[in-house]
């Protein structure tokens, strides 16, 4: 059985301390989750692109009840990077955050002890508050 896993470059990037999205060669828009075609225009000309891993906080919450084997409470939010909404654990107290805050998506171990299947040994990522670069 020989088949490339479409999502593999995403996790290879994290292993290299980078955050990747897919971008469409036809309409130039970025997207996730990993797909064989562009979800905007359905062109097959899509490729992986490593970003600067910088994004903005779109929304966030503090979970007082989390799934089993995840720390409780936990801050989780939605980060917009290259125009793509990404769900991420956030390494900051809820009360210290505001919508629009600049963050960086950095590789970490998974947020909880959760069966990630084929990616069990790959890094995941966390959003960290990070002031904008000068």
Partner 1 sequence: MSRRVLAEGVSAVPNGSYDVPTWQLAAGVLTGAVDDAGLDLDDVDGLYLPKPRPWTEQGFFSTSLANRLGLHLDRNVETYTGGTSGGSAFRLAARDVASGTLDVAVVFAAERNSTVETDDYLAYVLETFDHDIQAPAGPTVPGIYAQSLQRYRHEYDVPREAIADIAVKNHGNGASNPEGLFSSGTTVTDVLDSRPIARPLRLYECPAPCDGAAAVVLASEAAASAATVEVAGTGYDHPPSQYLGTREGALTEHPAFAGAADEALGAAGLAVADVDAFELYAPFPHTEAILTEELGLFERGRGALAAADGATAVDGPTPISPSGGPLGRGHPAMVTPILNHVEAVRQLRGTAANQVANADVVLTSAEHGHVDGVNTTVFRGGIDA
- Closest CB 52 distance from partner 1, rounded Å: 18
DSSP state of 99: T
Taking the least distance from each CB to partner 1, the nearer of 83 and 133 is 83
- Closest CB 134 distance from partner 1, rounded Å: 28
Q: Classify the C-alpha dihedral 97-101-102-106 as positive or negative.
A: positive
Structure tokens at 131: 């002031």
Q: Assign residue 121 a region: left if phi > 0, alpha if psi is -120 to 50, beta otherwise?
A: alpha
Taking the least distance from each CB to partner 1, the nearer of 104 and 111 is 111
Which residue reads 């900051």 in tokens? 92
CB atoms within 10 A of CB 77: 22
Taking the least distance from each CB to partner 1, the nearer of 2 and 65 is 65
- Closest CB 85 distance from partner 1, rounded Å: 4
Taking the least distance from each CB to partner 1, the nearer of 44 and 87 is 87
- Closest CB 111 distance from partner 1, rounded Å: 5
- Please give, one letter per residue, the 3-state secondary structure of 66-92: CCCCECCCEEEEEEEECCEEEEEEECC
What does the binding site for partner 1 look like in residue numbers (CB under 8 A)?
A: 7, 10, 31-34, 39-40, 58-68, 70, 74, 76-78, 85-89, 94, 99, 110-112, 114, 116-117, 119, 124
């Amino acid at each position: 059985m020989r088949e490339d896993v479409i999502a593999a470059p995403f996790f290879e990037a994290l292993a290299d301390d980078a955050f990747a999205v897919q971008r469409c060669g036809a309409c130039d828009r970025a997207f996730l989750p990993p797909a064989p075609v562009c979800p905007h225009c359905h062109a097959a000309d899509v490729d992986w692109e490593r970003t600067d891993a910088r994004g903005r906080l779109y929304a966030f919450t503090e979970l007082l009840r989390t799934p089993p084997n995840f720390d409780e409470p936990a801050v989780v939010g939605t980060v917009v990077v290259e125009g793509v909404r990404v769900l991420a654990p956030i390494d900051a107290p809820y009360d210290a955050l505001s919508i629009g805050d600049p963050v960086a998506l950095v590789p970490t171990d998974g947020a909880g002890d959760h069966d990630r299947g084929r990616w069990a040994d790959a890094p995941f990522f966390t959003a960290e508050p990070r002031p904008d670069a000068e």
